[in-house]
Structure 1
C-alpha cells in the first residue's frame, strides 16, 4: 500500500491545493508514482474524465503536477453549490441528487464505503498519496461526521502538515487555535506546521516560529513565500477573479457571474503576452473590450436575471452592435439565445427571455450531459473565421438542450467519447457572436493564438510581433517552478521523514 501525507489548513483558501500540487510534483520529480486525493470537494470548477465522470478541478491540476491522468477516484465526492443552502451531490463522478446542507450532513456517512474504495484503489496502484483536506479540521460543529480532514487522515493513517495563511494576518493564532481545538489523538496526527503566503524578511518571523513550536510541540517545517504561480484554481475564491484592471493590447472581458463555473476555460488566454483578461461584474468595469466572454454558471437563469438587472445585458448588446466579439461557453452560450425554458424545475422553473444574440432556444432537461469530445471547428463566418477547421477537444457538462430555429453554422463538429457518435455543437454568426458547450475550447494553443490573431487584426495590430507560447509547455514550467519554490522553503528532508515514518495503527 502507498505511503501517505496530508495537507490540512487553518481555513479555506489557506493554500492547501497549491501545496499538495507542489508535493505531488516533487515526489514525481524524485521518481515516485504519486497521486492526489481529496475525499470531498466543494467547488463549481469541475472536469469530465475520459470515461465521462465528473470530478473537482483541483485534483485534475494536482494529477497534472504528478504527471498522471486524472481519475474520479482522486475526488469521489464533489459538492456543487446550487444556492446558499444546498448543493448538487456527485458521487464517483455521477449525480446523486440535490440536497440541502442539513440533509447532506445526515446522509454523508453512507458515503464512507465509496471513499474507502476510491482511496484503497489509488493506494494499491501508487507509491505515495498526497491528500488534501477542506476548510479547517477545527470546525467543531462538523467534526463528528468529518470525512475530509482528520476523519480522512485516520482512515488513510496519514500524517498531517497543517498550513496557516499569514497573508490574512493572525497566522500564529490560526495555528495554535486550530491545534488547541483538536482532540489529543487528532493533534498527534499533525507532524509539521507550514506558514504559507509569507511576504518579507523571514528572520523577523524567527522568534515567533520558536514560540509556535514550543507552544504546540510541533515543528515548523517551512515558511513558504507568497507565490505567483499560474496554475488552475479550485473555485471562485480565486485571486485571478479580482484586482485585474490592467488593459493590454488585446483586452478580453469575462463576465463574472455570481455562480461562475469553470472559469479555468480562459486561463490559456490569460497566459498570453499582450493580452489582458479582466473579470468584470458591472457596466463601469466592462469598458470597451475587444471580446466579451460569457462563462459557464451553475444557474443559468438566475445569473441571466442578475445580468439583466445590473445593466450588463444591455451593455453586451450595445458592445455587439459596435463590433465587439461575443463568445459564450456552456451556460453563457445558453444565455445568448432567445429563450430558456425549465419545465422540470431543474434551475428556477418557468421561462425566461434570453439575450437574443443567437437564434436558438434552450430547454433544461432532467439528465446531465457529461462527456469528453474532440473534433474540429466548423467553417466559421465573421471575425473568428481563421479558427475554421482547427482541432478542438474538451468536455461537456450541462443540463440544457439548445435548438436553433433557423439554419445555423455550427461552432464545432464533434465526436462524443462516451457514445462514439458524431454531432454538431454551438453556433456562429457573421456579426461576431459565437457559442459552444465545449469547456476547454481555447486550451489548444492553435485555437487561442488564432483568436488573438483575429482580435489583433481587427485593431490593425501585428500578431506575429507578439510573443508566442505553447500552453501545455507553459503549465509544465509552472509546476516545476512550484516544486522548486517548495524545495527551497520546506524542509524536504523532514517531510520525507514524516512520510516514511507515517502513523502507527493506534493513532
Structure 2
C-alpha cells in the first residue's frame, strides 16, 4: 500500500541498550503484517556488527535485520552513516556503505557533523518516497546535553523528519521512572512536545504491582504509557553491539553447562560480527561461550577466533592475556580451531601493515608474527572489500571429503588480502565472483584437517555446513549424531513474529497507529 510521502515514527531511549532496536524491529514487523510498506531507518549507527547489502555495501546489522523483518532488501539509505570503532577515540566512518575516513571523536564532531545533516536527510527522503511508514531508531539517549548541538540521530533528526517520538525505557536495570522523568527534564520544550508516549521494556513480574507507578508517571508528565513489554529471553534476534555479550556472560543465564559440545569464542576487545555464532546457541547439545581470559577458556571441544575491527591490536591482546598459549594447549589436546575474517588472518604466519591501515604508522618493513597454524600471509591495504559471496566447499583434505559440494553463502568485510605461502595448502571452498569470473579458491585448512579459516562471515548460518561440521566433532567424541539440521532462517522469521505478537498483546497499537497518523489497513 503506497500512500505518497511516508509517515514517520521514532523510537528513542532513556539510555543505550534499553531495547530500542528490538522494539523497532517488532514495530516494523507489526506494520508489515498489517499491510503497510514499511522500512527502518537509523541515521547514524555505532556498531561493529555489520550487514552487507545486496549491492555489496556495509550498514549496521540492526538495520539489516529490521529490513528482513519488513521483508524488503536492506539499502544504505536505511543507515547512511556507520561508525566502526578501531582503537581508543578513533573510528572508521562509513558513508553509504563505503569507508569515508578514519577520524578521532574530536575530528568527527568538528569536521564531519556540520555537513552530515544533508546526508541523513536525503537518505530519509528517498525512503519516504518509496514507503508508507518509516520506523526511525535513535541512538543512546536524546538527553546527552554535551552532544545535542550537533545531534543528527535523536531530537534534531526528529524535527527534520517531523516525527513523533516514543520513549523506550528498560525497567530490568532499575530506576525506570527516574530515567524517564530525568530524560524529559533535560529536553527543550519543543523536544519534549515531540514525545507522544512511553514504552516500558523488559518487565518481569506482576503488572498490577507496577500500575501505581505508571499512573503517577502519566499524571506527572501528561504523556501516556503505551504499554509494558515483558522480558523475553532467547529472542533469537541478532544483536547490534557487544553490550549484548555482557548479558550472555551473565552467570544466571549460562546455558547448557552439561552440553555435549563446548564451543568457546574468543572475545577480544574489538570483536566484530559475533552474530556469526548465533546459530550455535540454537543447537540443543551445544554450549556457546564467549571468553576473555586463559582461565575462562577451560577445555572446549572447539575454539573460534571471530572477526575484529583491528586484527593487530586484538592479536596483541590475545598474547598479552595468555590466550595464545592456552589455545595452543587445547589444540595439542585435539581441540578443533576455526578463524573467521580477522581470526582467519591471525591463524596465519605473518601479517604486514605497510600502509598503517591498522596501526596508524606506515612502515614498509614491519611484520607481525601470526599464530602460525596455517601457511598464510596477510597484507593490509586501505581499500575495503565488502560483498556478498556464495559457492561450495571444495577441499582436497581427506577429512573434509564429506563436506565437499555443500553450498555456502555469506558476506565479506575486510581490509586485508591473505595469500597462501605455498601451493600445496588445502583451500576450503570455491566462491563465485559476482562479475562472472571462474570460482576463486578461498579459505584454508591445516595439514591435520582440524584447523581452518575463512573470510566468509555467516558461514555457520548455512545449515548443512554447520550440521555436518558439528557432526564431525560429535562423532569424534562418540556422541549420537544429530539428525536433520534445523533451518536457522525459519527460526529468525518465527522470532520476528514472536516479538510482533508481544507488541500486539502488550502495547496499545491503536494509539500508536493514531500517533503515526495511519489506520490499520
Q: TM (normalized to structure 2)?
A: 0.93
With over 3 angstroms needed to count, the CA separation of the structure-2 counterparts of 1:52 and 1:296, relative to structure 1, is same
Q: Once the 2 structures are TM-superposed, how far is the Cα of residue 152 of structure 1 from its aligned partner?
A: 1.2
Q: Once the 2 structures are TM-superposed, how far is the Cα of residue 221 of structure 1 from its aligned partner?
A: 0.3
Residue deviations 1:230-283 (CA, integer Å, cap 9, x gap)? 110000001454133643111111011110000011111211111111111112
Which runs of structure 2 are paired with 1:312-391 in the superposition (5 Å)? 312-348=323-359, 349=361, 350-379=366-395, 381=397, 383-391=399-407
Question: Could you say which residue in structure 1 is the equivalent of 2:292?
Answer: 281
Q: Once the 2 structures are TM-superposed, how far is the Cα of residue 463 of structure 1 from its aligned partner?
A: 1.4
2:174 to 154, 169, 182: 169
Structure-2 separation of matches of 1:382 and 1:421: 24
Q: Secondary structure at the match of 1:238?
A: helix
2:37 to 33, 36, 42: 33
Residue deviations 1:353-397 (CA, integer Å, cap 9, x gap)? 111100111111121111111111122526554322211111111
With over 3 angstroms needed to count, the CA separation of the structure-2 counterparts of 1:420 and 1:117, relative to structure 1, is farther
Q: 2:236–2:491: 8 Å Cα contact kept in structure 1? A: no
Q: Secondary structure at the match of 1:464?
A: coil
Q: In the alignment, is residue 437 of structure 1 matched against residue 455 of structure 2?
A: yes
Aligned pairs, number: 501
Question: Could you say which residue in structure 1 is the equivalent of 2:187?
Answer: 182
Q: 1:253–1:279: 8 Å Cα contact kept in structure 2? A: yes
2:127 to 122, 146, 163: 122
Question: Could you say which residue in structure 1 is the equivalent of 2:279?
Answer: 268
2:89 to 77, 85, 88: 85
Residue ranges of structure 2 left out of the alignment (5+ in a row): none
Question: Could you say which residue in structure 2 is the equivalent of 1:463?
Answer: 481
Q: Once the 2 structures are TM-superposed, how far is the Cα of residue 43 of structure 1 from its aligned partner?
A: 0.4
1:454 to 465, 472, 492: 472
With over 3 angstroms needed to count, the CA separation of the structure-2 counterparts of 1:340 and 1:461, relative to structure 1, is same
Q: In the alignment, is residue 237 of structure 1 matched against residue 267 of structure 2?
A: no
Question: Could you say which residue in structure 2 is the equivalent of 1:505?
Answer: none
Q: 2:464–2:485: 8 Å Cα contact kept in structure 1? A: no
Q: Secondary structure at the match of 1:306?
A: helix
Residue deviations 1:314-367 (CA, integer Å, cap 9, x gap)? 111121122111100000000001111111111125321111100111111121
Question: Could you say which residue in structure 1 is the equivalent of 2:49?
Answer: 45
Question: Could you say which residue in structure 1 is the equivalent of 2:507?
Answer: 490
Residue deviations 1:108-147 (CA, integer Å, cap 9, x gap)? 1212222122111111111111100000000011111110
Structure-1 separation of matches of 2:163 and 2:119: 18
Q: 1:249–1:275: 8 Å Cα contact kept in structure 2? A: yes
With over 3 angstroms needed to count, the CA separation of the structure-2 counterparts of 1:396 and 1:501, relative to structure 1, is closer
Runs (4 or more) in structure 1 with deviation over 6 Å come to: none
Residue ranges of structure 1 left out of the alignment (5+ in a row): 503-507
Structure-2 separation of matches of 1:43 and 1:60: 12
2:411 to 395, 402, 406: 395
Q: Once the 2 structures are TM-superposed, how far is the Cα of residue 418 of structure 1 from its aligned partner?
A: 5.9
Which runs of structure 2 are paired with 1:72-111 in the superposition (5 Å)? 72-106=76-110, 107-111=112-116
Q: Once the 2 structures are TM-superposed, how far is the Cα of residue 501 of structure 1 from its aligned partner?
A: 7.0
Instruction: Please say which of residues 342-351 and 20-29 is displaced more in the overlay.
Output: 342-351
Q: 1:232–1:267: 8 Å Cα contact kept in structure 2? A: yes
With over 3 angstroms needed to count, the CA separation of the structure-2 counterparts of 1:109 and 1:417, relative to structure 1, is farther
Structure-1 separation of matches of 2:493 and 2:116: 35
Q: Secondary structure at the match of 1:50?
A: coil
Question: Could you say which residue in structure 1 is the equivalent of 2:61?
Answer: 57
Q: Secondary structure at the match of 2:479?
A: coil
Structure-2 separation of matches of 1:7 and 1:24: 11
Instruction: Please say which of residues 284-293 and 174-183 is displaced more in the overlay.
Output: 284-293
Q: 2:350–2:370: 8 Å Cα contact kept in structure 1? A: yes
Structure-1 separation of matches of 2:370 and 2:95: 32
Q: Secondary structure at the match of 1:463?
A: coil
Q: Once the 2 structures are TM-superposed, how far is the Cα of residue 90 of structure 1 from its aligned partner?
A: 0.5
Which runs of structure 2 are paired with 1:207-222 in the superposition (5 Å)? 207-222=212-227
Q: 1:378–1:409: 8 Å Cα contact kept in structure 2? A: no
Q: Secondary structure at the match of 1:218?
A: coil
Q: Secondary structure at the match of 1:152?
A: helix
Q: Secondary structure at the match of 1:266?
A: helix
Q: Once the 2 structures are TM-superposed, how far is the Cα of residue 464 of structure 1 from its aligned partner?
A: 3.4
Q: Secondary structure at the match of 2:482?
A: helix
- RMSD, aligned CA: 1.6
Residue deviations 1:385-424 (CA, integer Å, cap 9, x gap)? 4322211111111111111112212111112336756321
